[in-house]
Structure 1
């Protein structure tokens, strides 16, 4: 966890202490449970925009904590709408990621990330910023206590050309093989034999947090959406179980990725 986020957590704790309120009492004032307040202060959950807004509104702070969160997003040059999810990723005890169209961002090489982002409507400076942010996010897989990841990919992800850059695809799939061999990373592949299956309408990520709760991420054309509504989460978890069930085993998937890598050399 970065020191900037630690600073925000400490400011939240000190503010509550200044009100001479327990976590339960503070939570009642802002409309959250005491366990939620505790989890934010101790790092089990990241402070979200909604949480900060609730404090600002309840205590008439003039937007102090919402501004603090915005400033935090600027420190690492990450778009504010993405920063919230990145904090969830860093705090997660498990990430489950399904992707039918691209290599998941957390597994991308710089060339692949640049190729996918440059093909959109972003300006060059914005592409550089997004690539840097995406590569920085990957540190959660290689830090001292890495986040376990289960990624399920549609087989077409391995076969889709990257703007006539076969070398970039070869590098990307070699990188995928290397990561798939890490003990805490599973990369599973759904083959054509699955036919049309529920996950094809869009990718998503499920993050299990330190307090045992689950939150989801949906990526749209313009920006991402964090999902924490119970019914929507239940639906996404059902879709996850379906796509996970359609995927090959870890060993079979690794063999298929290695075979696909050879086709790009």
Structure 2
């Protein structure tokens, strides 16, 4: 049933890959089993990709690019578009901006920000939502989320700041071990030269103000040196480009950051959570 649905919902990028692979495989005189052996997959997996019964994975695209040598650039280029097709439609425009961003200023209060999630945490969060998703859809979304980690190490380098509300750190997903791995990964990210990670304490409101009370936001400096704001709520999203509105969000983010623990205090706090066994 899932495979039948995949054939119906496959996007243009997946269809293009399937067409090109089949054309090149036949031109090279290879059966599906023979191509599968070359790239480390079964013939059934190649067949599923060519017939759109199973979405092509990022890893398979890399192997196909090497096996069908003279079109490596095609497969490299298609990786982005195939990834985009796995994501909710409302997120795609933002992802294109994120991948070329010069800087990102992020505030997350409900969950660990997607850019900083481990595989286990992302899978637990996505699979636990409602309405429930199929196993295939969960894997697609997890793979797409993990692919965003290229933002930590790319050229030009992206400067990334994240303020995590303490509530996001306290909210548990999956298991104790998954949370421990997530905390340790956050601590690792906090040590990257292009990353600043801070924690906004739960009791900040006792000081008389909490600039983060209105919810999460993502401020991005684009490759053209303009700023945009991206926000999500209940599977709906909005991309704000109006300079006056973006300026207000930028000021709000600056206030949130000023109310958070310092980077060193935040790292110590996260490491303490990892050591507590949650």
Could you tell me whether the CA contact under 8 Å between 1:215 and 1:227 is conserved in 2?
yes
The aligned counterpart of 2:42 is none
1:169 aligns with 2:179: yes
Are the counterparts in 2 of residues 206 and 216 from structure 1 also a CA contact under 8 Å? yes
Point out where structure 1 has 5 or more consecutive residues left out of the alignment.
Answer: 5-70
Residue 154 (structure 1) aligned with residue 128 (structure 2): no
Separation (CA, whole Å) in 2 of partners of 1:243 and 1:226: 20
Whether 2:94 is the aligned partner of 1:85: answer yes
Which of 126, 134, 151 pairs up with 1:117?
A: 126
How far apart, in 1, do the equivalents of 2:237 and 2:127 lie?
Answer: 18
Q: Is residue 219 of structure 1 aligned with residue 232 of structure 2? A: yes
Q: 1:198 and 1:151 mapped to 2: Cα distance?
A: 15
Equivalent position of 1:243 in the other structure: 256
- CA distance in structure 2 between the partners assigned to 1:264 and 1:200 by the alignment: 29
TM-score of the pair, normalised by structure 1: 0.68
Match of 2:204 in 1: 194
For residues 142 and 93 of structure 1, the distance between their equivalents in structure 2, rounded to whole angstroms, comes to 12
Shift of 1:73: 7.5
Structure 2: 5+ residue runs without aligned partners? 1-12, 14-77
| SS of alignment partner, residue 120 of structure 2 | helix
Aligned length: 195
Alignment TM-score, normalising by the size of structure 2 = 0.65
How much has 1:80 moved relative to structure 2? Answer: 2.9
Q: Which has the larger radius of gyration?
A: 2
Deviation of the 1:111 alpha carbon: 0.8
Checking the alignment, whether the CA contact within 8 Å between 2:210 and 2:256 is kept in structure 1 is yes
What is the CA-CA distance between 1:90 and the residue it aligns to?
A: 1.0
Q: Rate the CA distance shift 1:73–1:138 in 2: closer, same or farther, 3 A.
A: closer
Q: Whole-Å Cα distance in 2 between the matches of residues 146 and 116 of structure 1?
A: 29
For 1:153, what is the secondary structure of its paired residue? Answer: strand
